[in-house]
């Protein structure tokens, strides 16, 4: 039996906006097995981004327990969380979040810069770009690339440090149908190669491409 | 994050906004240039004053009436109290041990003319010993002799500049000049010294026997009606004898002036070393003062850096969020922004040092009153300016960098 990579146990998250408290998550319990491809679907405000941020170690839950590979994430300090994000998790964002003044190559290289002691940095960076089919565009800046290409650079960046988990927050949200299909086929291929993938979307046909779909509504898992 | 990566990243970031980086740097460049330039002027003035005094002969004690202002500058002091007889008493080895030479002197301004030419210059009333005490060498003719003094001869020795002004290429020896309308015979011309002290050339003077000065040119008397002198220089045999000699001089003069035990001295005896020390202290304070004024511009430059770094942090909030999501630790972000601030101040101060050298070079070529201030950039000034500038750069970078490092990654990612 494959072991659980991610275990969420009764996770809550409360934001305080002035005097108003917003319950973004109201007790989420969930486990995701290593190698799974899971989609999270829900309306905006349903708490899906908050959940992804917590899974991605960008945010801390208000209460509840989060184990990543059996490690209690709530016990980690800022530096250890940064290390988790750097080595174990790759992020893909809706609006790509590439550094606008850096080339594709420099963008992909970023996680390796923060890793320390990585050998063959240039080779690994070039390899990742090659893998997403942008070997010839290494020295282009984001503004010189199409949306689909920019997202592929972002995927190469997420992969370059060889993380076990890929988190994608509406990765096709800003793309046309053709590019969307391209990006989704890359995610499916990553899944076949054994990566664990968690994908947020609000489009059911995108969600359907995952093995499992988790529906979130009002801070709770509904199915 | 390795230092080399941080350095490359800082250079790229500064290069991507060249105009802004250059303008920010300009504040530091001007500050460092000003600090180095102004402090080198201060040092130059200090060197000039010290060297002028060191020219004057060694182991000399100056006796002046009452208490002069700071140093020897300014007009002669209020009450003339010293007399020719005081000078004679000091010349007696029974009174002042190890005395070698004593030279009383008087000075005043007056008009000197020859033919159609006329100049206003310093007129010194001196005795023969003055030549040795002040290291004067003669270009031609002879110096004032004992006979000239005792006979109150109307003879004059000219400084190099006065000689050229009045006679141009003609030989002045034996010529009759008029000082304050009275006829004097030129008996000697001094060699050019080339120096200037407080804007007055050392070659711009004229000397007459001190007795003639009193009887024919300027009447100045003490309260008791004796001829007053402005200063008495006392040379002693060795540097070791100076303190002892000052004690003797005070003793003799207090007795001669009939001062009661609780009266204050109506004169002051100071050694040349003391004067040089005082002047060095004054010019040292002056140098620090100039440096501090220039330091204000460096401070303003630092505020400029802080301002730009704050803008830069706000502009790059998203970039900071991305970097954090990709695994940048707080210290990585802190280091990145701190390094950018440090580079601005480092490059700025390097250019400022060059600017400082240029400024001090230009200043040392400007002629003020016969001589330029020998402004010299010394290594300690450069080190001081650079370290203050880097310190200011880091201090002004630290607050923006901390703000960047403390950003919450999620808020930063969704900024703007």
Structure confidence at residue B370 (pLDDT): 59
Is B390 in contact with B352 (CB distance < 8 Å)? no
Round to whole Å and give the CA distance between A166 and A143: 25
Q: What is the mean pLDDT of residues B316-324?
A: 94
In chain A, the percentage of residues whose pLDDT exceeds 90 is: 82
| Helix then strand then coil, % of chain B, to nearest 5 | 55, 20, 30
Q: Which two tokens stand for residue B85?
A: 């007889």
∠ CA(A159), CA(A62), CA(A20), 5° rounding? 115
Q: Which CATH superfamily is domain A37-57+78-215 in?
A: P-loop containing nucleotide triphosphate hydrolases (3.40.50.300)
Phi, psi (5° rounding) for residue B15?
Answer: -70, -25
Q: Which residues of B touch A92 (CB under 8 A)?
A: none
Which tens digits make up the pLDDT trace of B74-97? Answer: 554 457 888 988 998 998 888 888
Answer yes or no: do A56 and B330 touch at CB < 8 A: no
A97: nearest CB among B318, B327, B332 = B318
CA B132 to chain centre: 26
Is A192 in contact with A26 (CB distance < 8 Å)? no
Burial (CB count within 10 angstroms: exposed 0-12, middle 13-18, buried 19+), residue B268: middle
Q: Which residues of A touch B325 (CB under 8 A)?
A: 56, 58, 85, 91, 97
Answer yes or no: do B327 and A78 touch at CB < 8 A: no
Provide the shortest C-alpha distance from residue B4 to chain A (in Å).
10
Interface residues on B facing A, Cβ-Cβ cutoff 8 A? 1-2, 5, 9, 12-13, 16, 318-319, 321-330, 332, 409-410, 413
- Work out the number of other CB atoms within 10 angstroms of the CB of residue B252: 18
Phi, psi (5° rounding) for residue A212?
Answer: -140, 140
Answer yes or no: do A97 and B16 touch at CB < 8 A: no
Answer yes or no: do B413 and A93 touch at CB < 8 A: yes
B330: nearest CB among A56, A78, A111 = A78
Q: Which residues of A touch B410 (CB under 8 A)?
A: 53, 58-59
User: Residue B184: helix, strand or coil by DSSP?
Assistant: strand
User: Residue B301: helix, strand or coil by DSSP?
Assistant: helix
Q: What is the mean pLDDT of residues A185-201?
A: 95
DSSP, res B217:
I
Structure confidence at residue B6 (pLDDT): 87
In chain A, the percentage of residues whose pLDDT exceeds 70 is: 99
Q: What is the DSSP string of B336-380?
A: HHHHHHHHHHHHHHHHHHHHHHHHHHHHTTS-BTTB-------HH
What does each C-alpha distance from A79 to A113, B331, B402 come to in angstroms? Answer: 15, 9, 16
Round to whole Å and give the CA distance between A99 and B320: 10
Round to whole Å and give the CA distance between B292 and B286: 10
Lowest mean pLDDT of A104-108, A113-117, A174-178, name the range.
A113-117
Helices (H), B91-156: 129-133, 146-150
Helices (H), B16-77: 18-54
Beta bridge partners of A67: A7, A72
Q: What is the mean pLDDT of residues A72-84?
A: 92
Which tens digits make up the pLDDT trace of B356-382? Answer: 999 999 988 886 655 677 888 889 999
- Pick among B327, B339, B413 to test the A interface (most A CBs inside 10 A): B327
Helices (H), chain A: 48-55, 78-87, 104-113, 121-131, 147-159, 177-192, 204-207
Question: How many CA atoms are closer than 13 Å to the CA of B217, on its beta-carbon side?
Answer: 30
Chain B residue whose CA is closest to A100: B319
Q: Which residues of A touch B5 (CB under 8 A)?
A: 113
Interface residues on A facing B, Cβ-Cβ cutoff 8 A? 53, 56, 58-59, 78-79, 82-83, 85-87, 91, 93, 97-99, 101-102, 110-111, 113-116, 157, 161
Largest Cα–Cα separation, chain B: 102
Q: State the helix-helix crossing angle for B272-315 and B330-363, rounded to 10 degrees.
A: 140
Is B59 in contact with B237 (CB distance < 8 Å)? yes
Q: Which residues of B touch A99 (CB under 8 A)?
A: 319, 322
Residue B70 has pLDDT above 60, yes or no: no
Structure confidence at residue B126 (pLDDT): 92
Beta bridge partners of A31: A7
A85: nearest CB among B12, B327, B330 = B327
Binned at pLDDT 50, 70 and 90, residue B149 comes out as very high
Dihedral (CA of B353, B354, B358, B364) sign: positive
Answer yes or no: do B325 and A58 touch at CB < 8 A: yes
Specify the residue for token string 């803008």: B311
Is B82 in contact with B228 (CB distance < 8 Å)? yes
Which tens digits make up the pLDDT trace of B217-253? Answer: 988 888 778 888 989 999 998 888 888 999 999 999 9
What would you report as the CA-atom Rg of chain A, rounded to the nearest whole angstrom? Answer: 17
B326: nearest CB among A79, A102, A110 = A110
Which tens digits make up the pLDDT trace of A57-68? Answer: 999 999 999 999
Specify the residue for token string 């290069």: B15
Q: Which residues of B touch A97 (CB under 8 A)?
A: 318, 321-322, 325, 413
Provide the shortest C-alpha distance from residue B374 to chain A (in Å).
50
Chain B residue whose CA is closest to A111: B326
In chain B, the percentage of residues whose pLDDT exceeds 70 is: 93
Structure confidence at residue B75 (pLDDT): 52
Answer yes or no: do A97 and B325 touch at CB < 8 A: yes
What does each C-alpha distance from B243 to B71, B240, B247 come to in angstroms? Answer: 19, 7, 6
- Pick among A82, A95, A101 to test the B interface (most B CBs inside 10 A): A82
Phi, psi (5° rounding) for residue B98?
Answer: 60, 25
Query: Of the segments B198-202, B260-264, B274-278, B286-290, which one has the largest average pLDDT value?
Result: B286-290
Q: Which two tokens stand for residue B316?
A: 């790059």
Answer yes or no: do B329 and A97 touch at CB < 8 A: no
DSSP, res B218:
-
B332: nearest CB among A58, A99, A114 = A114
- The pairs formed by A80-86 with CB atoms below 8 angstroms and a separation of 24 or more are A81/A57, A82/A114, A82/B324, A82/B327, A82/B328, A82/B329, A82/B330, A83/B327, A83/B329, A84/A57, A85/A56, A85/A57, A85/A58, A85/B324, A85/B325, A85/B326, A85/B327, A86/A111, A86/A114, A86/A115, A86/A161, A86/B326, A86/B327
Burial (CB count within 10 angstroms: exposed 0-12, middle 13-18, buried 19+), residue A157: buried
- Work out the number of other CB atoms within 10 angstroms of the CB of residue B327: 28
Which tens digits make up the pLDDT trace of A129-166? Answer: 999 999 999 999 999 999 999 999 999 999 999 999 99
Is A124 in contact with A118 (CB distance < 8 Å)? yes
Phi, psi (5° rounding) for residue A51?
Answer: -65, -40
Binned at pLDDT 50, 70 and 90, residue B195 comes out as low
Burial (CB count within 10 angstroms: exposed 0-12, middle 13-18, buried 19+), residue B93: exposed
Answer yes or no: do A99 and B321 touch at CB < 8 A: no
Q: Which residues of A touch B318 (CB under 8 A)?
A: 97
Binned at pLDDT 50, 70 and 90, residue B276 comes out as confident
A114: nearest CB among B318, B328, B409 = B328
Q: Which two tokens stand for residue B40?
A: 């080198």
Average pLDDT, whole number, for chain A? 92
User: Residue A42: helix, strand or coil by DSSP?
Assistant: coil
Q: Which residues of B touch A83 (CB under 8 A)?
A: 327, 329
Chain B residue whose CA is closest to A113: B1
Answer yes or no: do A114 and B321 touch at CB < 8 A: no
Answer yes or no: do A157 and B326 touch at CB < 8 A: yes
Q: Which residues of B touch A58 (CB under 8 A)?
A: 324-325, 409-410, 413
CB neighbours of B260 closer than 8 A, spacing ≥ 6? Answer: none
Q: Which residues of B touch A98 (CB under 8 A)?
A: 322
Is B341 in contact with B400 (CB distance < 8 Å)? yes
Residue B335 has pLDDT above 80, yes or no: yes
Nearest to B156 by CA among B166, B88, B84, B60: B166
């Amino acid at each position: 039996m494959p072991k659980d990579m991610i275990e969420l146990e009764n996770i809550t998250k409360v934001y305080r906006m002035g005097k108003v408290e917003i319950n973004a998550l109201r007790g989420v319990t969930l486990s995701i097995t290593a190698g799974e491809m899971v989609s999270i679907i829900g309306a905006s405000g349903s708490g899906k981004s908050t959940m992804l941020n917590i899974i991605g170690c960008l945010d801390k839950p208000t209460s509840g327990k989060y184990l990543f590979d059996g490690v209690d994430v709530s016990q980690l300090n800022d530096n250890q969380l940064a290390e988790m994000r750097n080595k174990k998790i790759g992020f893909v964002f809706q609006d790509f979040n590439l550094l606008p003044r850096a080339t594709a190559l420099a963008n992909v290289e970023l996680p390796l810069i923060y890793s320390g002691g990585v050998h063959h940095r240039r080779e690994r960076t070039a390899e990742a770009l090659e893998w997403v089919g942008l070997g010839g565009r290494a020295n282009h800046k984001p503004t010189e690339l199409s949306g689909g290409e920019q997202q592929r650079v972002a995927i190469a960046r997420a992969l370059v440090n060889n993380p076990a988990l890929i988190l994608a927050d509406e990765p096709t949200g800003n793309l046309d149908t053709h590019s969307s299909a391209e990006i989704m086929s890359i995610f499916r291929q990553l899944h076949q190669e054994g990566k664990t993938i968690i994908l947020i979307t609000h489009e059911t046909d995108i969600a359907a491409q995952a093995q499992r779909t988790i529906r979130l509504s009002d801070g709770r898992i509904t199915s | 994050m390795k230092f080399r990566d941080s350095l490359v990243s800082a250079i790229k970031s500064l290069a991507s906004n060249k105009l802004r980086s250059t303008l920010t740097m300009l504040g530091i460049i001007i500050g460092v240039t000003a600090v180095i330039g102004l402090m080198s002027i201060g040092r130059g003035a200090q060197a000039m004053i010290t060297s002028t005094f060191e020219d004057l002969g060694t182991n000399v004690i100056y006796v002046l009436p009452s208490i002069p202002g700071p140093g020897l500058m300014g007009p002669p002091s209020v009450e003339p109290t010293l007399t020719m007889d005081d000078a004679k008493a000091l010349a007696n080895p029974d009174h002042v041990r190890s005395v070698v030479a004593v030279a009383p002197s008087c000075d005043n301004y007056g008009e000197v003319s020859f033919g159609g030419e006329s100049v206003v210059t310093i007129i010194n009333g001196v005795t023969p010993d003055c030549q040795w005490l002040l290291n004067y060498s003669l270009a031609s003719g002879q110096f004032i002799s004992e006979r000239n003094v005792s006979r109150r001869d109307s003879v004059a020795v000219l400084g190099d500049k006065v000689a050229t002004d009045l006679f141009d290429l003609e030989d002045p020896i034996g010529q009759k000049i008029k000082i304050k309308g009275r006829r004097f015979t030129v008996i000697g011309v001094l060699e050019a010294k080339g120096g200037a002290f407080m804007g007055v050339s050392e070659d711009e003077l004229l000397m007459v026997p001190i007795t003639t000065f009193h009887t024919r040119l300027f009447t100045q008397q003490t309260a008791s009606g004796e001829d007053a002198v402005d200063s008495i220089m006392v040379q002693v045999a060795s540097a070791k004898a100076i303190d002892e000699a000052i004690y003797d001089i005070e003793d003799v003069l207090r007795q001669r002036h009939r001062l009661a035990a609780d009266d204050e001295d109506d004169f002051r005896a100071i050694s040349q070393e003391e004067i040089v020390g005082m002047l060095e202290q004054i010019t040292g304070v002056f140098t620090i003062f100039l440096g501090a004024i220039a330091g204000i511009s460096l401070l303003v430059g630092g505020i400029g850096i802080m301002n730009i770094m704050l803008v830069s942090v706000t502009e790059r909030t998203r970039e900071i969020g991305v970097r954090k999501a990709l695994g940048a630790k707080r210290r990585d972000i802190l280091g990145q922004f701190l390094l950018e601030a440090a580079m601005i101040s480092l490059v700025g101060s390097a250019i400022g040092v060059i600017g400082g050298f240029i400024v001090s070079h230009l200043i040392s070529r400007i002629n003020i009153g016969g001589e330029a201030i020998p402004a010299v950039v010394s290594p300690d000034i450069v080190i001081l300016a650079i370290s203050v500038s880097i310190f200011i750069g880091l201090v002004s970078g630290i607050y923006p960098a901390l703000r960047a490092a403390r950003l919450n990654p999620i808020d930063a990612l969704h900024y703007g």
